[in-house]
Structure 1
Amino acid sequence: MSVETERQVEALLFAAAGPLSVEDIAKRLPANAEVPAALAALQQRYEGGGVELACVAGRWRFQTAEDLAFLMTQEREEPRRLSKAAQETLAIIAYHQPVTRAEIEAVRGVQASKGTLDVLLELGLVRMRGRRRSPGRPVTYGTTDAFLEHYGLAQLSDLPGMAEMKAAGLLSLDLPPDFNVPTPGGLGAPDEDPLEDGEAPEFHVDFLGEDDPAH
């Protein structure tokens, strides 16, 4: 076996998109090329290195040494896409906070699924602010600092107008005329009390829950 044959086999395996059989390699080389011998020599030369020559299902390929596989692990966060119902609910909370679940339903015109609010709470985009000073003492919701960071806002008064909001993907429906952009200092309401320590409505995550069959 010649050194040149070994180099040619090495080059083919390095550039190949997938494992190659002996026949695949032989087709590319001169008729007298000793492919098996070249593979054996390469396997011995790469043994113990960071990259090894391995035979998998009768085909040959270069691969990372098994003991170094941990170096190739990549962790990344997969962004969770909000459902249409969650986007609409988040928009209403952002522009009308502090807002109760009943008020969210009144603006949207459909009954709110608990699962939708649960997702926004779990993602940290929404928080429970307090209880409204009205019959039933309903819980009010507002946005968080994570909401501002996610949408690149310095403060709530920097919330965009309706057209900009839709372009950013935060809003995908036509809301009633009374859905107004707040003015600086116009957010918040005095008619709520803070939640007591440890107090929180029943919480569960229901990713299948939707507000109505149309969503």
Structure 2
Amino acid sequence: MNTADARRILETALLCAQEPLSLREMAVLFEGALSYDTLRRLLTELQRAWDNRGLELVCLASGWRFQSRPELRPFLERLHPEKPPKYSRAVLETLAIIAYRQPVTRGDMEEIRGVTINSAIIKQLEDRGWIEVIGYRETVGRPALFATTRTFLDDLGLAALDALPPLEAVSAPVDALAALTLQAPSPSPTGPHADEGAAPVPPNMPNEGLQRPAESET
């Protein structure tokens, strides 16, 4: 198989995929005949080929996908004028703490925020697929340790946690997170209902996209 054919196969698979594709999944297209390094090179070539088009090929935490370019999303949103879901500041503060301090227990979060965290906030973030329990602290009561998921990074269009704004560059973690959230697509048209006055999350764009860094084969 020549390079042009391999690129066309990758391009077609990525355009038709409903979710980001990992290198492992893309290797299946060629029955393992192409190495990960070769796949990465072909993906880089595809990125350059789409440089001046309405879609861009990006690498996220869970794999590669085509998505609309940020400057075109305001136009695409006109096709989906429904009100996007919103999240209260309390939800964003809790998510920011987990994103920047993970893994953390609920007690850690409450100590940082200085208030008791409503169980509904944790459930809302879990239902959204942004956080998960990754273990338990070996102390009295063995409290659950929370961390962000791949979905968290995918929804913000990030490949790894180190792509988050550094804390020294922002006034507060929640402000950095809110700014990212406002730019990020929501992967589904539905979501948790919001508190009044919360920051909105824009609706999902076709073929678009806070969790731990991506696997090395992504």
- Structure 2 length-normalised TM: 0.41
Relative contact order higher in (CA < 8 Å, ≥ 6 apart): 2
- Structure 1 length-normalised TM: 0.42
Whose helix fraction is larger, Structure 1's or Structure 2's? 2
